[in-house]
Amino acid sequence: MSTDRTSDPADDESGNHRPGGGEDEVHVGRFSRRARRRDREEQKKGSLLKELPVLLVVAFVLALLVKTFLVQAFFIPSGSMEQTLHGCTGCTGDRVLVTKPPYWFSEPQPGDIVVFQGPDTWTPEVQVSEPGNWFSSAALFLGRAIGVAPPSEDDYVKRVIATGGQTVQCCDDQGRVTVDGQPLDEPYIYENTPLESRPFGPVIVPEGRLWVMGDHRSASADSRSHVGDQYAGTIGVDDVIGKASVIVWPFSRFTFLDSPAIQPQQAEGMAVQGDVALVAPLLLGLGGAVPVAAWRRRRR
């Protein structure tokens, strides 16, 4: 009686069993899988190389948007804000984060540390060699965005002392700067100059402008040094880049920078400004999170 048997993969076309055929096919199968794996890896490499320029462009655009609207890192190149901010010769210059949202809904207030673009009449505190080609310019732009490159020559960091409509003058009988006749409370001052060598004013700050000074009073070329120019030494509110909020480097000096109420009549107004500064980034984060959450739900 004949017995049917299931065809074995090792059988040849005539039905005869081919010794070792199964092992050969397993070997061929493994080779095919390795070949397909190599093909996929090569395709991924090729795809990555094609996508790399696009990724670089996207990264550059994102850096530009963040730098323009949210936050920017700055390298402190001079000692005019010692010892609040280190920029002295022979020490590690501080890197600070400058935030933009605090001034979306309000203007800089006395006591704020601000980074700003100085008027044309101001002499640069540092000398910076600008690059001569587009690649070096792009690298410098990114370096300034993350705070590892020196700022532009017309970028300054100072503390706001008086705002539009206020009258600033130095000094009272104790050597203090006064605003509207009231002495300022300035615990951050470092190495103040002798009383007889630092009087100025009175100067009425025009509307939309600010009177700024460095914490290192004997080493800061601030509003006092330019009181004779067309702006009476003041800077424009529109020229303020942002508020210096935190020292991020070196790690040993990591700290948040406060804005003390240096004018007696200032305390209530500064509380309101602080609330706005906290709420603005929160609203921004929620505005960005809602579309992302909706997109993820649609994908589900």
Residue 48 in this model has a pLDDT that exceeds 60: yes
Q: What is the pLDDT of residue 285?
A: 45
Please indicate, yes or no, if residue 296 is contained in any of the structural domains.
no
Residue 207 in this model has a pLDDT that exceeds 90: yes
Q: What is the pLDDT of residue 235?
A: 97
Q: What is the pLDDT of residue 120?
A: 87
Q: Which residue has the higher pLDDT, 191 or 125?
A: 191
Please indicate, yes or no, if residue 90 is contained in any of the structural domains.
yes
Looking at 67, 78, 80, 100, which residue is catalytic?
Answer: 80
Please indicate, yes or no, if residue 56 is contained in any of the structural domains.
no
Please indicate, yes or no, if residue 215 is contained in any of the structural domains.
yes
Q: Which residue has the higher pLDDT, 60 or 238?
A: 238
50 is catalytic: no
Average pLDDT over every residue of 12-37: 56
158 is catalytic: yes
Looking at 158, 223, 243, 259, which residue is catalytic?
Answer: 158
Please indicate, yes or no, if residue 24 is contained in any of the structural domains.
no
- Number of structural domains in the chain: 1
Please indicate, yes or no, if residue 13 is contained in any of the structural domains.
no
Q: What is the pLDDT of residue 198?
A: 79
211 falls in which pLDDT band (50, 70, 90)?
very high
Q: What is the pLDDT of residue 54?
A: 74
Question: What CATH number is associated with residue 156?
Answer: 2.10.109.10
Please indicate, yes or no, if residue 58 is contained in any of the structural domains.
no
% of the chain at pLDDT higher than 70: 56
Please indicate, yes or no, if residue 3 is contained in any of the structural domains.
no
CA distances from 110 to 158, 179, 243, 262 (A): 11, 10, 12, 7
Q: Which residue has the higher pLDDT, 114 or 20?
A: 114
Q: Where in the sequence is the domain holding 113, given as residue range(s)?
A: 66-280
Give the pTM.
0.67
Least confident of 65-69, 155-159, 240-244: 65-69
Beta bridge partners of 170: 177, 200
